[in-house]
Amino acid sequence: MAKLARDGQKVLRDAQSLRLRAAWLYYTYGYTQKDIADRLGLARTTVVKLLDETLKRAEVQIWIAEGAPELIDLSLRLEDRLKLDEAIVVPGEEGADGAAKAVGAALGAWLSETIHDGMRVGVGWGRTLTASLATFRPPRRDNVKVVSLLGGVVEVALTNPLEFTWRLANQLGAECYLFPAPLIVDSAETRDRLLVRCGLDRLEKLASSLDLAVLSVGDIGPAATSLSKGLLSKVQLQELYEAGCVSDTLCNFLAADGTSVSHPLNERVMSIGLDTIARARHIVIATGGAPRAEAILAARKRIGCNTLVTDEHAARRLLEIAV
């Protein structure tokens, strides 16, 4: 599989993580320089320079020197096991907020390099995506469209999908398409009326040809840390759990096999259809924490995943349970 093309290659060449990644593939896995170039999305000459630099810096001796070899190994194993274009694994932090900040920091740097002129980008919501703004430092881009993939919330204490979409678009100088509707409405009929009669179906059309879809996923259960817990009653959460829900993907509630669980909430959420999102050219899932592993796998089965940004706790759990 080929990685999404990036800018900022000079920054990448100088990064220790990329040097060690190339060295790990070359010296430990026995990849050829051409294989490494294909896997990392680089020119072969760049790979030669990276490997040469690891020797000059004494990062490669008889073994790969300290840095992040274990995380790189987890990344490579995830790529092979889950058939990903790229896995980015960061050190694990404690708690949902800590995981969100760590994974979000890596996501922000990745997005800074990846969003190009003319791209159509769909975005979700969550702590992780909001945390990515701290490291999101892109150059101004031309003709970029940023599309919110779901409706908003009114509670100030919660991360708001609309606010994240706006802030991301503003940093890019991009056109911004918000989803001006509540995240969850009172009935399936209301949802259909808003989509068809109020012009929100235009967002579905925009999202039908995304270059990049960026989202996080949440877990569902008694100890879940998903932000949707603040929107749902305890009874609803228990019903979802008993119905076999393991993943909150854009407030669409999924079973382990990626299908939507049988619950009225799935007919009341104001979001772009998951089947539409699955047609995006490149899909990024960003979230961390071992409890999110099942949620990641369910989302991957439903919409796919090209790039996974996660932490070591989730990575190890994914390798344990992924078939």
Quick: pLDDT tens for 156-197: 445 667 788 999 999 999 999 999 888 889 999 999 888 887
How far apart (Å, rounded) are the C-alpha atoms in residues 311 and 245? Answer: 23
CATH number of the 74-321 domain: 3.40.50.1360
How far apart (Å, rounded) are the C-alpha atoms in residues 201 and 206? Answer: 9
Contact 314, 289 (CB under 8 A): yes
* Domain limits, the chain: 9-67, 74-321
How far apart (Å, rounded) are the C-alpha atoms in residues 248 and 296? Answer: 9
How far apart (Å, rounded) are the C-alpha atoms in residues 229 and 142? Answer: 38
pLDDT at residue 33 in the model: 93
pLDDT at residue 180 in the model: 86
Contacts (Cβ under 8 Å, ≥6 apart) of 189: none
- Per-residue pLDDT of 206-220, as tens digits, reads 999 999 999 999 998
- pLDDT above 90 for 198: no
DSSP 3-state of 173: coil
- pLDDT above 90 for 55: no
φ, ψ of residue 277 in degrees (nearest 5)? -65, -35
Tokens 């001796």, residue? 61
- Per-residue pLDDT of 61-82, as tens digits, reads 655 554 578 899 999 999 999 9
May I ask the CATH class of domain 9-67? mainly alpha
Bridge partners, residue 125, by sequence: none
- The neighbour count for residue 13, using CB atoms within 10 Å, is 16
